[in-house]
Amino acid sequence: MKIAIIGWGYLIRDRRGLDVAPQWQPDGPHLPLEFARCADPPRIVPVLVAGAPPKPTFWTLSQKRSMLAAAADLAVREGVGTHEIGQWSREDSMRKPVGVEGVIAAWIEAKGLDGAVWREPGWGRPPAA
């Protein structure tokens, strides 16, 4: 499977154990990002925020062979549970994607990928785009 890891901010500069292709591509989907979360160590980091203007993201290919493994890999890297990792795959195409998932689903289709995973805001489903 060709599974993209969609990233922004510090993830691009610090893969820290994430099992991905070495190069990040600059033509990821445009998503509603805003500097709106404090991180540890203390700093403000960009996260998905409903109503924020769409910003470009980066992507690279996961070296994992399943959506579950790619999501778990990103969760470990981010220090969160898999419930804070968004994912969409062509296998999910039986349901209509909405919001951020809709943007990412269209991007996956255009890139000829099988799926993608990304960090969700951490307070529920991805916000509507």
Mean of pLDDT values over 103-122: 93
Residue 69 lies in a domain: yes
| Distance from C-alpha of 99 to C-alpha of 129, rounded to nearest angstrom | 5
In which domain, by residue range, is 42 found?
3-119
Mean of pLDDT values over 99-105: 94
Residue 74 lies in a domain: yes
How many CB atoms sit inside 10 A of residue 36's CB?
13
Helix, strand, coil share of the chain (percent; to 5): 30, 30, 40
Residue 21 lies in a domain: yes
Q: How many domains does the chain have?
A: 1
CB 60 within 8 A of CB 26: no
Q: How confident is the model at residue 126 (pLDDT cuts 50, 70, 90)?
A: very low
Residue 128 lies in a domain: no
Residue 98 lies in a domain: yes
Mean of pLDDT values over 61-86: 95
pLDDT at 38: 62
Amino acid letter, residue 64: K
DSSP summary character for residue 94: G
Mean of pLDDT values over 82-106: 90
Strand 31-39 and strand 54-55: the pairing is antiparallel
DSSP summary character for residue 84: G
Please provide the average confidence, as pLDDT, over all residues in the chain.
88
pLDDT at 128: 42
